[in-house]
Amino acid sequence: MNAITTKIKWIMDNTGIDEMLLEAGRAFLGTSIAVALGLGIPLLDISGGDFRTVVSAGLAACLQIIVRALNPEDAKFGVGKAKVARAEEASTSHITGSAIDTDGDGIADELAGSLAGEVVPDDADEEETK
Do 65 and 20 meet the contact criterion of CB atoms below 8 Å apart? yes
Rounded distance between C-alpha atoms, residue 65 and residue 21, angstroms:
9
Does the pLDDT of residue 62 top 60, yes or no?
yes
Kindly give the interhelix angle for 2-14 and 83-92, rounded to the nearest 10 degrees. 20
* pTM exceeding 0.85: no
H/E segment holding residue 88: helix 83-92
Side-chain-side CA neighbours of residue 10 (13 Å): 6
Do 108 and 96 meet the contact criterion of CB atoms below 8 Å apart? no
Whole-angstrom Cα Rg for the chain: 25
Q: Bigger pLDDT: 30 or 117? A: 30
Once rounded to an integer, what is the mean pLDDT over residues 107-126? Answer: 53
Which DSSP symbol is given to 123? H
Once rounded to an integer, what is the mean pLDDT over residues 103-130? Answer: 54
Q: Bigger pLDDT: 77 or 124? A: 77
* Cα end-to-end distance, the chain, whole Å: 66
Q: What is the pLDDT of residue 57?
A: 95
Q: What is the pLDDT of residue 71?
A: 81
Q: Bigger pLDDT: 48 or 120? A: 48
